Amino acid sequence: MAHPTQLGFQDAASPVMEELLHSHDHALMIVFLISTLVLYIIIAMVSTKLTNKYILDSQEIEIVWTVLPAVILILIALPSLRILYLMDEINDPHLTIKAMGHQWYWSYEYTDYEDLGFDSYMIPTQDLAPGHFRLLETDHRMVVPMESPIRVLVSAEDVLHSWAVPSLGVKMDAVPGRLNQTAFIASRPGVFYGQCSEICGANHSFMPIVVEAVPLEHFESWSSLMLEDA
């Protein structure tokens, strides 16, 4: 999860998020190189008293500074398009979960089970246990098996919401009357935090998302207990 004074992204917990981090670093390096070159040219033009007549009027230089930016944009665009298609791929999900946004909580329904669903409310500050995070902890976590393709169907019952978990590389709008879908694979066990990322009213800041990835055996035990309680 994020921590104070953090400059970069959260640690990746899914293959898609790893690709996004690599793409970000790739684009940032290109931006650094361009910024350094432009800064050098500005300093050189301001500080020197010499004038080169071939720079003032040169067909070759105009061709270079027209073609080179186009090549750089292609080098940025092609990896971005690849990741865009990867994020849209949903191949044979092992589990499907329906996430419904409400004012101001989330409800989850495991559609592969007959009667497995629950509401997920933020735990008030005064009720937090030691080690829990303020404004991020919920009374019921969305538990998923690790290293398994998970499909999440996202919708809303009242206003626009957005189901987002940064470390999993997932962000999908929840629109009333519309069913959107996204997918992720949790590559390691852990607890991953997110929040509603669409301003949805007075308590927009108080409807967190908690995804807990566990080994398959633990998930089966958890689902059995939940079905027994239901």
Question: Alpha helix locations (H) across the chain?
Answer: 15-47, 53-56, 59-88, 216-229
Look up the CATH architecture of domain 15-88: Orthogonal Bundle (1.10)
Domain ranges of the chain: 15-88, 95-229
Other Cβ atoms closer than 10 A to 9: 15
Rounded CA-CA distance 123/136 in Å is: 8
Please give the mean pLDDT across all residues of the chain: 91
Average pLDDT, integer, range 172-180: 94
Q: What is the pLDDT confidence band of residue 4, given thresholds at 50, 70 and 90? A: confident
Q: For residue range 68-115, what is the model confidence (pLDDT) as tens digits?
A: 999 999 989 998 999 999 888 888 899 999 999 999 999 999 999 988
Lowest mean pLDDT among 48-62, 93-107, 132-146, 215-229: 48-62
Average pLDDT, integer, range 56-65: 80
Higher pLDDT, 179 or 3: 179
At 190 the pLDDT is 93
At 230 the pLDDT is 63
User: Is residue 136 within 8 Å of 193, Cβ to Cβ?
Assistant: yes
3-state secondary structure of 203: coil
Average pLDDT, integer, range 221-229: 89
Rounded CA-CA distance 230/225 in Å is: 9
Residue indicated by tokens 């684009």: 27
Rounded to two decimals, what is the model's pTM? 0.84
Higher pLDDT, 33 or 49: 33
Other Cβ atoms closer than 10 A to 119: 13
Query: What is the CATH class of 95-229?
Result: mainly beta
Q: For residue range 120-157, what is the model confidence (pLDDT) as tens digits?
A: 999 999 999 998 999 999 999 999 999 999 999 999 99
Nearest to 135 by CA among 122, 150, 119: 122
Which uninterrupted H or E stretch holds 170?
Answer: strand 170-174
At 206 the pLDDT is 93
At 24 the pLDDT is 93
Whether pLDDT at 54 is above 80: no
